[in-house]
């Protein structure tokens, strides 16, 4: 792995790139996943590469929703396994959520590599790997329709970092509440999810874990009010305004 000086102005961004390239070399990340990262990074520039007030509100609502869930499941793909496996495991342990591996570009060897990476970072039970529990999610034709009947199929709340839009829609149509991380507030995923955290998952997940710990002592009625008061359309509009304001500030500086 390339050593990146902390003094480099793009150090954090370059470290993320290195993690993904390393994940690709280890058989976790698909080639297409590298391309997807580039698109997300472009939107991170527009956001100013920081977690804004609007994202923090969404994170708080997401934390409340996860705590209220009866059967929360975190869906993990190759990019997430390469970027923040330890944090995913920590979120699962903090909230009692299950972890399920689910891939768009399906490959059994890559799936096993992801499972190994998660176990190395402390995961015990990982769903989506036992063929006898295989089930199909209706309304989607890609490999991601294959889910675990004890995981995503049975879940009431699904956390889907770096998700594709068609599966988000399929999850919604199947009656599930969907929480996603997506740097693009205009994407199908962002527009379709119940709660969209418009932020880099490597930043936002730490805040989400802290919020889950903090809110775990709250009464269910208080948590439900946080969820009911959250409006995802308003959330996305506010994120777009934040991007606009950031660009305006940068223009004045230039």
Residue 114 lies in a domain: yes
Residue 3 lies in a domain: no
pLDDT grade, residue 6 (50/70/90)?
Answer: low
What pLDDT is stored for residue 23 in this prediction?
85
Residue 97 lies in a domain: yes
pLDDT at 69 over 90: yes
Q: Are 107 and 82 in contact (CB under 8 A)?
A: no
Most trustworthy range by pLDDT among 34-43, 102-111, 125-134: 125-134
Total domains, the chain: 1
Residue 187 lies in a domain: yes
DSSP state of 70: S
Residue 22 lies in a domain: no
Residue 32 lies in a domain: no
**% of the chain with per-residue pLDDT over 70:** 94
pTM for this structure?
Answer: 0.91
Residue 91 lies in a domain: yes
pLDDT grade, residue 103 (50/70/90)?
Answer: confident
* 13 or 8, higher pLDDT: 13
Helix, strand, coil fractions of the chain, as percent rounded to 5: 55, 10, 30
Residues 6+ apart with CB under 8 A from 224: 64, 68
The burial class, CB within 10 Å (0-12 / 13-18 / 19+), for 136 is exposed
The CATH number given to whatever domain includes residue 203 is 3.40.50.12640
* 161 or 90, higher pLDDT: 90
> What domain range includes position 127?
53-245
What pLDDT is stored for residue 253 in this prediction?
64
Count CA atoms within 13 Å of residue 36 on its CB side: 20
What pLDDT is stored for residue 41 in this prediction?
83
Residue 171 lies in a domain: yes
């Amino acid at each position: 792995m390339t050593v990146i000086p902390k003094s480099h102005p793009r150090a954090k961004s370059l470290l993320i790139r290195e993690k993904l390239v390393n994940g690709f070399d280890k058989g976790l990340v698909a080639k297409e996943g590298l391309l997807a990262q580039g698109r997300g990074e472009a939107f991170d520039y527009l956001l100013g590469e920081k977690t804004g007030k609007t994202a923090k509100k969404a994170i708080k609502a997401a934390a409340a929703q996860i705590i209220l869930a009866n059967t929360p499941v975190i869906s993990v793909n190759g990019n997430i396994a390469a970027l923040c496996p330890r944090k995913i495991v920590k979120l699962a342990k903090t909230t009692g959520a299950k972890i399920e591996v689910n891939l768009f570009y399906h490959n059994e060897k890559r799936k096993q590599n992801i499972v190994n990476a998660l176990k190395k970072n402390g995961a015990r039970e990982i769903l989506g790997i036992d063929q006898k529990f295989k089930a199909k999610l209706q309304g989607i034709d890609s490999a991601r329709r294959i889910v675990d009947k004890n995981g995503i199929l049975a879940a009431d709340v699904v956390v889907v970092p770096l998700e594709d839009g068609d599966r988000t829609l399929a999850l919604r149509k199947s009656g599930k509440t969907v929480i996603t991380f997506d740097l693009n507030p205009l994407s199908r995923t962002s527009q379709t999810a119940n709660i969209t955290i418009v932020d880099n998952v490597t930043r936002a997940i730490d805040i989400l874990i802290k919020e889950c710990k903090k809110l775990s002592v709250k009464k269910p009625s208080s948590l439900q009010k946080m969820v009911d008061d959250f409006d995802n359309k308003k959330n996305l509009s506010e994120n777009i305004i934040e991007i606009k304001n950031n660009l305006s500030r940068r223009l004045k500086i230039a």
